[in-house]
């Protein structure tokens, strides 16, 4: 995406975020799952506390986006791409 720097994030204990997009001070994190009922690892919330993203998306093959917890949204890839293209973050 133009203007966004793409990377990943991994802690010393091996927990990670699959994709990180940064632009200026904005930090977005993405975790990719193949399940329609995605689960995250036990260390996921700790990783988020260390990394402090503005928002987190779990990208999964779901029909509609929904909020999993504060600051974490489960969403289909198409919806996320539309939001990125139209600068809705």
Model confidence pLDDT, tens digit, residues 30-71:
999 999 999 888 888 888 888 899 999 999 999 999 998 878
> Which 3 state secondary structure label does DSSP give 51?
helix
The residue extents of the domains of the chain are 5-85
Q: Which tokens in the block code for residue 85?
A: 């293209």
pLDDT tens per residue, range 12-23:
888 899 999 999
pTM of the model: 0.88
Confidence band, pLDDT 50/70/90 cuts, at residue 1: low
Instruction: Please report the sign of the dihedral spanned by the C-alpha atoms of residue 32, residue 66, residue 84, residue 9.
Output: negative
Q: Give phi and psi for 21, each to the nearest 5.
A: -115, 130
Do residues 23 and 53 lie in contact, with contact meaning Cβ atoms separated by under 8 Å?
no
């Amino acid at each position: 995406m133009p203007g966004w720097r793409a990377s990943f994030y991994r802690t010393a204990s091996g927990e990670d975020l699959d994709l990180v997009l940064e632009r200026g001070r904005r930090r977005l994190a993405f975790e990719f799952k193949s399940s329609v009922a995605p689960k995250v690892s036990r260390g996921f919330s700790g990783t988020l506390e260390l990394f402090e993203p503005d928002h987190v998306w779990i990208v999964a093959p779901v029909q509609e986006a929904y909020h999993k917890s504060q600051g974490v949204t489960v969403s289909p890839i198409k919806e996320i791409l539309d939001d990125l293209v139209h600068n809705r973050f």
